[in-house]
């Protein structure tokens, strides 16, 4: 029973890894977000941010990448269900993109809170 549970989780992790790699390889928006994540991580090392700041920064990176991945999935499902332009599908895709926008905006605010004092003061 426990072995079956563990192998099931490992199988799920395999699919998660494959999906993440596919997302990075095929989606320009994720590639941009990954580039930003790498730059902000380098900035963290350069400015010697605190462990708490690392945790918050990492959570923000994860939040944006997750929102971007879910947005991509929602857009893919919407396009599969209704390939032609449709007003309701357009609104669904806009809402999903808006969620990414909220995550990105909050992350920029957090980055400002962390880095502006280190850069200017």
pLDDT of res. 56 = 98
Q: Which of 120, 121, 57, 64 is nearest to 97 (CA)?
A: 64
Residue 67's CB: how many other CB atoms inside 10 A?
21
Res. 6: pLDDT tops 80? yes
CATH of the domain at 107: 1.10.287.3610
Domain count, the chain: 1
Q: Does 11 map to a domain? A: no
pLDDT tens for 58-71 read 999 999 999 999 99
How distant, in Å, are the alpha carbons of 14, 49, 104 from that of 52? 30, 8, 20
Q: What is the mean pLDDT of residues 63-89?
A: 95
* Residues 69-85, mean pLDDT to the nearest whole number: 94
Domain span at residue 38? 27-120
Given a cut of 80, whether residue 1 has pLDDT beyond it is no
- Residue-level pLDDT at 5: 86
């Amino acid at each position: 029973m426990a072995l079956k549970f563990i192998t099931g989780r490992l199988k799920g992790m395999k699919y998660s890894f494959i999906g993440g790699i596919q997302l990075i390889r095929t989606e320009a928006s994720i590639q941009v977000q990954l580039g930003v994540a790498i730059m902000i991580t380098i900035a963290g090392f350069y400015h010697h941010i605190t462990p708490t700041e690392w945790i918050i920064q990492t959570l923000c990176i994860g939040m944006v990448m997750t929102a971007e991945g879910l947005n991509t999935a929602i857009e893919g499902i919407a396009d599969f269900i209704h390939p032609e332009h449709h007003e309701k599908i357009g609104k669904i895709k806009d809402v999903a993109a808006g969620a990414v926008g909220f995550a990105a905006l909050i992350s920029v605010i957090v980055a400002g809170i962390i880095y502006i004092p280190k850069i200017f003061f």
